[in-house]
Amino acid sequence: MVIAALGILFVRKAVHAALLLAVVMISLAVLYAALDAPFLFAVQIIVYTGAILMLFLFVLMLVGVDASDSVVETIRGQRVMAVVAGLLLGLVLVTGVGQISLGAGVGLADANSGGNIQALATILFSRYVFAFETTSALLITAAVGAMVLAHRERLVPKPTQASLAAQRLRDYQDKGTHPGPLPPPGVFARHNAVDTPALLPDGTASEASVSRVLAARGTVRSAPALADDIEELQRQIGDAPHAGRTGSASAEEENL
């Protein structure tokens, strides 16, 4: 567990750090089981390893494994405060561990005489209720700290709907960019419409209606390119339907 905890500090990839954190949590759960603390063992596996660690992994997947962290300080002096707080926490941990004698726990059987869960609830909500509430305040502080660290100051005001519309018209005046949405691809019953350009009112094809990726690949189709397919389709169908329609049309003309 100590080796995995040290690995969290020195590995370069965040995914490896999350996996080493899982090793630390599972090892800590084993220590709880060895100390006859079944409740803490179950909580450590279900809550911390099964829920919180999975949350870490989801965040890594959303942010990206190769995403670089920002080194710009949004709050002045936050690194100095972090170093001082880390040293104080280390001093508290060293002092607390130093007061614990090595070997088996003293008075553990007496503490679990009425049941581990019952004894834990009695101590947690009576003698150490202030420390318990302080821990909850620390968790809220950590959440607020994460929001502060992830905060990015907006250098320009947020664009409104009117400003976006005005920008589109300026782009149309300066660059000739179409102010409205791009036309959708054309629709043909025998072919996928994604790579078929739409036709403008004058009959010409609209290049803006097809993705630039398809245009770069050279897979864009046009109406003249489909002429051979239409002739092939007519040859496969035959002239019988057309003949039938022609005969009925001529009969109607004679009646008129």
pLDDT of residue 74 exceeding 80, the answer is no
pLDDT value for 185: 64
Which amino acid does the sequence have at 146? A
pLDDT value for 30: 92
Instruction: Please tell me the total count of domains within the chain.
Output: 1
Please give the distance of CA 15 from its chain centroid, rounded to a whole number.
15
Distance, CA of 145 to CA of 135 (rounded, Å): 15
CB atoms within 10 A of CB 20: 20
| Residue, of 84 and 36, whose pLDDT is higher | 84
What average pLDDT does the segment 223-229 reach?
A: 58
Q: Domain for residue 112, yes or no?
A: no
Locate 9 and state its tokens.
């500090």
Most confident of 50-64, 78-92, 187-201, 209-223: 78-92
Q: Domain for residue 44, yes or no?
A: yes
Q: Which residues of 110-119 are buried (b: 16+ CB within 10 A; e: fewer)?
A: ebbeeebeeb
Average per-residue pLDDT for the chain: 75
SS3 for 161-215 is HHHHHHHHHHHHHHCCCCCCCCCCCCCECCECCCCCCEECCCCCEEHHHCCHHHH
CATH code, domain with 19: 1.20.120.1200
The pTM (predicted TM-score) of the whole model is: 0.41
pLDDT value for 144: 86
Q: Which residue has the tokens 């084993």?
A: 30
Most confident of 63-77, 206-220, 234-248: 206-220
Q: Domain for residue 35, yes or no?
A: yes
Q: Is 24 exposed, middle or buried (0-12, 13-18, 19+ CB in 10 A)?
A: buried
pLDDT value for 147: 81
Closest CA to 230 of 189, 194, 201: 189
Locate 1 and state its tokens.
């567990």
Distance, CA of 177 to CA of 79 (rounded, Å): 47
What average pLDDT does the segment 32-57 reach?
A: 83
Q: Domain for residue 52, yes or no?
A: yes
Is 206 within 8 Å of 197 (Cβ atoms)?
A: yes
Distance, CA of 41 to CA of 31 (rounded, Å): 8
Q: Euclidean distance between the first and final Cα of the chain, in Å?
A: 99
Q: How far is CA 139 from CA 69, 119, 134, 171, 234, in A?
A: 23, 24, 9, 49, 73
Locate 236 and state its tokens.
């496969």
What average pLDDT does the segment 214-240 reach?
A: 64
Locate 7 and state its tokens.
């690995």
Q: Domain for residue 215, yes or no?
A: no
Q: How confident is the model at residue 3 (pLDDT cuts 50, 70, 90)?
A: very high
Owning domain of residue 23: 1-65
Instruction: Give kind and range of the element (H or E) at residue 233.
Output: helix 227-237
Q: Domain for residue 31, yes or no?
A: yes
Distance, CA of 90 to CA of 84 (rounded, Å): 10
What average pLDDT does the segment 147-163 reach?
A: 80
pLDDT of residue 237 exceeding 60, the answer is yes
pLDDT value for 27: 92
pLDDT of residue 224 exceeding 70, the answer is no
| Residue, of 161 and 221, whose pLDDT is higher | 161
Distance, CA of 29 to CA of 41 (rounded, Å): 5
| Residue, of 11 and 224, whose pLDDT is higher | 11
Give tens-digit pLDDT for 77-100. 778 888 899 899 889 888 877 776
Q: Domain for residue 212, yes or no?
A: no
Q: Domain for residue 49, yes or no?
A: yes
Is 172 within 8 Å of 179 (Cβ atoms)?
A: yes
